[in-house]
Amino acid sequence: MGIPAMVALGGALLKVKDGATLILDADSGVLRVAPDAPALEAAQTALAERQARKAAAQAAAHDPCVTKDGVRIEVFANTGSLNDALAALANGAEGSGLLRTEFLFLDRETPPDENEQARQYQAIASALEGKPLIIRTLDVGGDTAAPYLPIPAEENPALGLRGVRVSLWRPHLLKTQLRAILRVRPLGQCKIMVPMIASLDELRAVRAVLEEAKRELGVTERIELGVMIETPAAAVTADLLAAEADFLSIGTNDLTQYVLAMDRGNPELAARIDALHPAVLRMIDQTCKGAARHHRWVGVCGGLASDVVAIPILLGLGVTELSSTASIAPEVKARVRGLSLESCRGLAAQALDQASPEAVRALVKSFGA
């Protein structure tokens, strides 16, 4: 929604007096209490500059997105509803790189049937006016279970039945969802993406269900089927996956949690779970190299795509599609236009050799374009 926010500040926050003047600098993760006059003035100047930058980016939101050296980068937006699709369009996004379909499945007693799903997907696809829509198959797990999906209690839901594992555990749900997606017109606008892939077998099993659904509906056209790279297993075997997947999209939220072994919802770890950790960047690097072997494109649909600081590194590693929060898309485009891929590559190589996410962020700060 474009509103600055910070979380997990700890108990010290409760000591702040009511009515105190605060500077909330969410970019740097700093909350200044009762700032002095020079600090306040500096913050106001920074705010004015930021607003001017945002306004300029918004004015150019619908212009094409190409780097200074002529490389085309696709800027998409993540969606989870029809309203999000409208926001994506208004902010100049060139499509949706991730439709989280959970909105249709949660908070209800029975799963949505094929007709209801087809209607909802069609409404979102139509709202995007023919632009690409990447629909992610249901991504629920033990912590988000619905009454009609009684996932047995698990000690570690993040490591349990979730994502594609649930789809293959209850294949009739997957089949219904795939059939609904295949009914959207024009055929081909929707691509399908599978979450939480850990091995090629899972992609093959989903493809088998997709082929069955296509046969049933008499669809003979190619429908793109891609994978999310969210587990270290998927990142290090990206070459194997890319041999059979049409595209790879990196879910940096989960990838970071699994690479660093840090729960993405744990407030004590919030300050340290940073997708710019060199270990995560090395996984992204490996993903891009694996995909390149089979000439597949790699996108990022996790939160890192909405972190403008990360963009030159992602492009330098070989990412060519960014699916961000809709409100950030104009700034993502503006940043891409100011970059040359050649220098991004140099920056990315250096980033991989840093010792910490802080060092990576410092390195980017000193990088021009």
301 binds, options Mg ion, ligand PEP, none, Cβ within 5 to 8 A by partner type:
ligand PEP
Report whether 53 contacts 47 (CB < 8 A). Answer: no
Considering the complex, state which of residue 58 and residue 144 has its C-beta at the smaller distance from Mg ion. 144
Residues 67, 193: Cα–Cα separation, whole Å? 27
Q: Is 97 in the site for ligand PEP (CB under 6 A)?
A: no
Q: Is 274 in the site for ligand PEP (CB under 6 A)?
A: no
Q: Is 331 in the site for ligand PEP (CB under 6 A)?
A: no
Reported residue count of the chain is 369
274 binds, options ligand PEP, Mg ion, none, Cβ within 5 to 8 A by partner type:
none
Of the candidate residues 84, 94, 202, 254, the single one contacting ligand PEP (CB under 6 A): 254
Beta bridge partners of 30: 25
319 binds, options Mg ion, ligand PEP, none, Cβ within 5 to 8 A by partner type:
none
Which residues make Cβ contacts (< 8 Å) with residue 268, sequence separation at least 6? 8
Kindly indicate which of the ranges 111-119, 146-154, 204-212, 250-258 contains the residues binding ligand PEP, using the contact rule CB under 6 A.
250-258
Question: Strand, coil or helix: what is 205?
Answer: helix
Report whether 191 contacts 226 (CB < 8 A). Answer: yes
* Residue number with the smallest Cβ distance to Mg ion: 254
Q: Site residues for Mg ion, window 238-277 (CB under 5 A)?
A: 251, 254
Of the candidate residues 301, 326, 339, 351, the single one contacting ligand PEP (CB under 6 A): 301
Considering the complex, state which of residue 133 and residue 196 has its C-beta at the smaller distance from Mg ion. 196
Number of C-beta neighbours around residue 271 at 10 A: 12
Report the b/e string of 144-158 with b at 16+ CB within 10 A. bbbeebebeeeeeee
Of the candidate residues 79, 92, 100, 285, the single one contacting ligand PEP (CB under 6 A): 100
Kindly indicate which of the ranges 48-56, 171-179, 252-260, 286-294 contains the residues binding ligand PEP, using the contact rule CB under 6 A.
252-260
Considering the complex, state which of residue 143 and residue 216 has its C-beta at the smaller distance from ligand PEP. 143
Report whether 305 contacts 251 (CB < 8 A). Answer: no
Residue that the structure tokens 């660093």 belong to: 260
Contacts with ligand PEP, 215-234, as mask; x by CB under 6 A = ---------------x----
Contacts with ligand PEP, 3-32, as mask; x by CB under 6 A = ------------------------------
Report the b/e string of 61-70 with b at 16+ CB within 10 A. beeebebeee
Considering the complex, state which of residue 118 and residue 228 has its C-beta at the smaller distance from ligand PEP. 228
Which residues make Cβ contacts (< 8 Å) with residue 263, sequence separation at least 6? 158, 257, 269
Q: Is 253 in the site for ligand PEP (CB under 6 A)?
A: yes
Size of the site for ligand PEP (CB under 6 A): 10
Q: Which two tokens stand for residue 232?
A: 């270290």
Report whether 53 contacts 331 (CB < 8 A). Answer: yes
* Phi, psi values for residue 193, rounded to 5°: -135, 140
Q: Which amino acid is at 95?
A: G
Contacting positions for Mg ion (CB under 5 A): 230, 251, 254
Residues in touch with ligand PEP (CB under 6 A): 98, 100, 139, 230, 251-254, 301-302
